[in-house]
């Protein structure tokens, strides 16, 4: 039995953070009912469906016109039987649709109700729309990313979306555990901005202790040297020395054994003061090596290192295969098969897998309505009146 088997989740999410949350719950066995409105989830079609495919496995799909009385009646029945409701509209939007927390709690006191938004349900910015790059910009992440002297840069992945989704899933499961003890549901407010502010915890603390704002240091850190990506014959290799022992060992291995005796590089503090001289000397030496040669050499001596890889190199790596982090998926629009990222949670003695492919538009509408007690004739009428699709 999967950990969340038997848990029913009503999914009013779109974009990245919300669907990632409900996908994680679905991966762990929950029955996810994704509600789409008649225009469909816009992310079904972005990047040929790549966004939708990535975050919507292990879900069922029902399409309802939420503005029609009959549609609201269907949602009311879904809320009554659900353990969890997750929504990612801007604050007040779901209330205007008629499905606020107060309404949901009134008809289902045990419901765990989770709202995911850019800035949260309270505060002066709560009304604003937000996607991952907007939060990167507002939070200071973008200003501190990239090489010195370059314009602001965003990270390549949707890490704030995924982080907010993961935190939401964690909080939901915690509230489900709490409900077993108290019999009461929860109201959860997950803000993408809160998440990234939390992730920057040590930088926040350092700011209040020193007044220092994080600067652009490319692949490196302001406080350690060498601790960055270095150019080699055929690319880049990240190397990290975090104490004097690893620094001396690194120099010995690459043939710069006398470098730690130079007063400019004798301590980490001095190395940071003279970082550009140090980088020039080290990089000049490392150009003798290929990526593979250098990484193999440093790993042999248990030093911190990794090749700077492109995505295609990562996906071809045997470790990704061994961890089952690539899975086959079917595009509901075209029927074609492709691959996507696998399930990140691993639970020994349990086989977490894709039980349901990303759903077609309204694929499970009839099935879900039958579960709610609608007859075949009633379902036909709802379709004719364009309440469901």
Mean pLDDT of the chain: 97
pLDDT of residue 46: 87
| pLDDT above 90: residue 157 | no
Shared domain for 281 and 352, answered yes or no, is no
pLDDT of residue 268: 97
Cα 262 to Cα 207, 249, 266, 283, 361, distances in angstroms: 32, 15, 6, 17, 67
H or E segment to which residue 346 belongs: none
| pLDDT above 90: residue 149 | yes
Share of the chain above pLDDT 70, in %: 100
Shared domain for 296 and 350, answered yes or no, is no
Q: Average pLDDT, stretch 189-201?
A: 97
Residue 314 lies in a domain: no
Q: CATH no. for residue 35?
A: 3.40.50.10540
Q: Average pLDDT, stretch 147-174?
A: 96
DSSP string for residues in 169-186: HHHHHHHHHHHHHHS--E
Residues 379 and 369: beta-carbon distance below 8 Å:
yes
Helix (H, G, I), strand (E, B), or coil: what is residue 328?
strand
Shared domain for 266 and 352, answered yes or no, is no
Residue at a domain's end among 276, 307, 338: 307
Q: Which residue has the tokens 């002297």?
A: 149
| pLDDT above 90: residue 16 | yes
The Cα 214–Cα 193 span in angstroms is 17
Vertex 256 angle, CA 250 and 258, to 5°: 110
Residue 177 lies in a domain: yes
Give backbone dihedrals phi and psi of 164, rounded to 5 degrees, phi first: -65, -40
Residue 389 lies in a domain: no
The Cα 66–Cα 388 span in angstroms is 9
Q: CATH no. for residue 267?
A: 3.30.1540.10
Shared domain for 171 and 69, answered yes or no, is yes
Q: Which residue has the tokens 């043939």?
A: 255
Residue 210 lies in a domain: no
The Cα 343–Cα 324 span in angstroms is 8
Q: Residue 88: give the domain boundaries.
A: 8-199+320-384
- Closest by CA to 305, choosing from 264, 249, 223, is 249
Which pLDDT band, with edges at 50, 70 and 90, does 249 fall under? Answer: very high
Give backbone dihedrals phi and psi of 372, rounded to 5 degrees, phi first: -80, -5
The Cα 37–Cα 386 span in angstroms is 11
- For the stretch 286-321, pLDDT in tens is 999 999 999 999 999 999 999 999 999 999 999 999
Angle between helices 244-254 and 291-300 (to 10 degrees): 130
Length of the chain: 389
Q: Average pLDDT, stretch 178-206?
A: 97
Give backbone dihedrals phi and psi of 238, rounded to 5 degrees, phi first: -85, 135
Shared domain for 167 and 194, answered yes or no, is yes
Shared domain for 258 and 357, answered yes or no, is no
Residue at a domain's end among 246, 280, 307: 307
H or E segment to which residue 301 belongs: none
Residue 204 lies in a domain: no
Which pLDDT band, with edges at 50, 70 and 90, does 277 fall under? Answer: very high
Cα 324 to Cα 66, 73, 327, distances in angstroms: 39, 42, 7
pTM of the model: 0.95
Which pLDDT band, with edges at 50, 70 and 90, does 383 fall under? Answer: very high
Shared domain for 82 and 158, answered yes or no, is yes
Q: Which residue has the tokens 């779109």?
A: 14
Shared domain for 144 and 283, answered yes or no, is no
Shared domain for 281 and 242, answered yes or no, is yes
What is the DSSP-derived secondary structure letter of residue 92?
Answer: T
Q: Average pLDDT, stretch 370-377?
A: 98
- Closest by CA to 11, choosing from 42, 67, 56, is 56
Give backbone dihedrals phi and psi of 117, rounded to 5 degrees, phi first: -150, 175
| pLDDT above 90: residue 45 | no
| pLDDT above 90: residue 85 | yes
Tokens (6 digits) for 280: 């020039």
The domain tally of the chain equals: 2
Q: Average pLDDT, stretch 100-126?
A: 98
Residue 87 lies in a domain: yes
- Closest by CA to 333, choosing from 21, 71, 56, is 56
The Cα 152–Cα 145 span in angstroms is 6
Shared domain for 376 and 278, answered yes or no, is no
Q: Average pLDDT, stretch 14-39?
A: 97
Residues 64 and 35: beta-carbon distance below 8 Å:
yes
Beta-sheet pairing, 31-36 with 60-63: parallel
Residue at a domain's end among 307, 334, 369: 307
- For the stretch 202-231, pLDDT in tens is 999 999 999 999 999 999 988 899 999 999
Report, in angstroms and rounded to the nearest whole number, the Rg of the chain calculated over CA atoms. 26
Buried b (16+ CB within 10 A) or exposed e, 94-118: beebebbbebbbeebeebbbbbbbb
Distance of alpha carbon 191 from the chain centroid = 13
DSSP string for residues in 222-290: SS-SSEEEEEETTEEEEEE--SHHHHHHHHHHHT-TTGGGSGGGSSHHHHHHTHHHHHHHHHHHHTTS-
Residues 12 and 40: beta-carbon distance below 8 Å:
no
Shared domain for 267 and 178, answered yes or no, is no
Shared domain for 301 and 335, answered yes or no, is no
Residue 162 lies in a domain: yes
Residue 292 lies in a domain: yes
| pLDDT above 90: residue 133 | yes
pLDDT of residue 237: 98
């Amino acid at each position: 039995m999967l950990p969340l088997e038997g848990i029913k989740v009503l999914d009013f999410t779109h974009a990245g953070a919300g669907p990632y949350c409900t996908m994680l719950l679905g991966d762990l066995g929950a029955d996810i009912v994704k509600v789409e409105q008649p225009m469909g989830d816009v992310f079904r079609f972005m990047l040929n469906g790549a966004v939708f495919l990535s975050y919507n496995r292990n879900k069922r799909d029902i399409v309802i016109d939420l503005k029609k009385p009959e549609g609201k009646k269907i949602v009311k029945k879904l809320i009554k039987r659900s353990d969890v409701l997750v929504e990612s509209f801007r604050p007040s939007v779901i209330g205007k649709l008629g499905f606020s927390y107060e309404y949901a709690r009134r008809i289902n006191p045990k419901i765990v109700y989770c709202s995911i938004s850019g800035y949260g349900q309270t505060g002066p910015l709560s009304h604003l729309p937000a996607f991952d790059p907007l939060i990167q910009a507002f939070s200071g992440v973008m200003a501190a990313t990239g090489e010195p002297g370059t314009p602001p840069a965003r990270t390549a992945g949707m890490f704030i979306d995924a982080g907010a989704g993961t935190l939401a899933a964690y909080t939901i499961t915690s509230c489900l555990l709490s409900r077993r003890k108290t019999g009461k549901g929860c109201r959860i407010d997950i803000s993408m901005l809160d998440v990234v502010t939390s992730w920057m915890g040590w930088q926040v603390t350092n700011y209040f202790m020193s007044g220092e704002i994080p600067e652009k240091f490319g692949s490196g850190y302001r406080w350690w040297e060498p601790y960055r990506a270095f150019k080699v014959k055929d690319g880049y290799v990240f190397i990290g020395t975090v104490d004097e022992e690893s620094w001396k060992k690194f120099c010995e291995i690459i043939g710069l054994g006398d470098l730690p005796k130079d007063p400019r590089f004798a301590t980490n503090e001095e190395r940071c003061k003279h970082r550009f001289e140090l980088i020039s000397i080290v990089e000049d030496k490392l150009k003798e090596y290929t990526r593979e040669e250098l990484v193999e050499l440093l790993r042999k001596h248990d030093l911190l290192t990794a090749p700077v890889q492109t995505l295609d190199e990562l996906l071809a790596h045997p470790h990704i295969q061994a961890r089952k982090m690539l899975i086959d998926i079917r595009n509901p629009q075209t029927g074609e098969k492709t691959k996507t990222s696998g399930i990140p949670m691993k639970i020994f003695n349990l086989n977490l897998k894709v039980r349901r492919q990303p759903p077609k538009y309204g694929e499970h509408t009839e099935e879900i309505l039958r579960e709610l007690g609608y007859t075949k004739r009633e379902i036909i009428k709802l379709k004719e009146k364009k309440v469901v699709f």
